[in-house]
Amino acid sequence: MQATFESILPIFLLILCGNILRRVDVIDPAGWHGIDQLGYWFFYPTLILVTIVNADFTGLQLDAMMLALAITVPLMFVFVLSLWPFLRKAGLAGAAEFSSIFQTSIRWNGFMALAIAQKLFPPAGMAVVALVMAIIILPINLVTVFVVTRFADRTANWPTLIRRMATNPM
């Protein structure tokens, strides 16, 4: 428990510092958008790429894990999508709400996973998590963007769906 806390504490402190900086107007409000975009489009993908490039996969047997990913990720999509008719019929979620349910059920926090893996299972843990991220981020993001666009924006047509999926950075 302590190792997990120690691994995610810097992430929360960074978020806290950013929140404080935003509140005290150290950075122009217009500048925050650029900072967000830089992190989203450049720093995060670079972190994953550098982690994978520098990883030593020698001796790691990943075939069973890759098979598990190939089976479970699509099963998660199907399972959560299969909840839609029941949630709608029970009046628990409309289309826009379901898009949020789907997204929060399928997506996960890679920053946390990398930090925890690095602390608990160095150096192989971070390498394995980065490799998993590289493999599953694209299908998860494509399906999530599709579902969110389709459910949240009921007027979205196929060209809009394709454009939104193509312009997703991951």
Q: What is the pLDDT of residues 6-22, one digit of tens each?
A: 888 988 998 899 889 88
Domain count, the chain: 1
Residue range(s) defining the domain that contains residue 88: 2-166
Cβ atoms of 161 and 149 closer than 8 Å: yes
Tokens found for residue 73: 């990720």
Runs of H (alpha helix) within the chain: 2-23, 29-38, 44-54, 63-89, 95-106, 110-120, 124-152, 158-166
pLDDT at 169: 60
Q: How far is CA 78 from each of CA 71, 74, 114, 147, 170, rounded to the nearest angstrom?
A: 11, 6, 26, 12, 21
pLDDT at 16: 93
Q: In whole angstroms, give the CA distance from residue 139 to residue 76.
A: 12
pTM score above 0.85: no
Identify the CA nearest to 115 among candidates 8, 1, 5, 36: 8
Each of the 170 residues of the chain gets a pLDDT tens digit; together they read 788 888 889 889 988 998 898 888 888 888 888 888 888 888 888 888 888 888 777 777 888 888 998 899 999 999 999 999 999 999 999 988 998 899 888 887 777 888 888 888 877 787 888 888 888 888 888 888 888 888 876 677 778 777 777 776 65
